[in-house]
Structure 1
Amino acid sequence: MYRYFPVILPLLAYVFNVAGAPTTEDQKKSNSDTHSLLLCANPRLTSPCTMILWDDLECMELPLEWDNIVTSVAPRGNGQHCILYRDYGCNGPSLEITRYTPELSNFENQVSSFRCFADF
């Protein structure tokens, strides 16, 4: 009976390790649960601010009370790319950001929607 352990135990360890390991799709889904963009009405992330959660490549429209008042932004985490759009529906002129942006300069008070994605 014990003579099969050297074969069975490594085989079981392999099966459970592979079956229990998260797939790339699971990891992306898990990571997307934590993606967020901090938007503030004043420079240097000064309040009032709001945090909006997003999924990869989904067009997110700002609530009416935040439409055209955003002055500074910060994607949560490293490797986050966000494209800010002047119009709803992720249309019109745009500005791409990849990190904390204390002032949107020529794009201040113009953001109505955004689309973000994460590098994996």
Structure 2
Amino acid sequence: MLLALSGELDAGTVLVVVGAVAAALAGSPEPKAIVLDLSRVNFLGAAGVRVLSAVTDNAADRNVRLRIVTGGNPLVSRALRLTGADRVLDVYPDLGAASSAGDGREFLRLTARMWNS
């Protein structure tokens, strides 16, 4: 399932993301993965980064993978990098990479990034 976000992702808008992910998780059938496309987000604040982590955990509790696409957006990529979130969240440069990622490769990629940082 693809959820495309745009505009600002900060303390004033995080509940929209929480609601969208909750609705996706409540769908029938439950998705195996949710892709959050942040390529059109023009601001990603600390609250936005925290909510990305929280919804990732909520999805994982239901065995659903949450993948984040930066779409080459330098603002989003920088915020994720500066906070270290890019090391613990499933972050992809584009929709193609996110949709073709398999669970095993994901785990190995994230583990390598954590060990090498």
TM (norm. structure 1) is 0.29
Which has the larger share of helix?
2
TM (norm. structure 2) is 0.29
Greater Rg, structure 1 or structure 2?
1
Which has the larger share of strand?
1
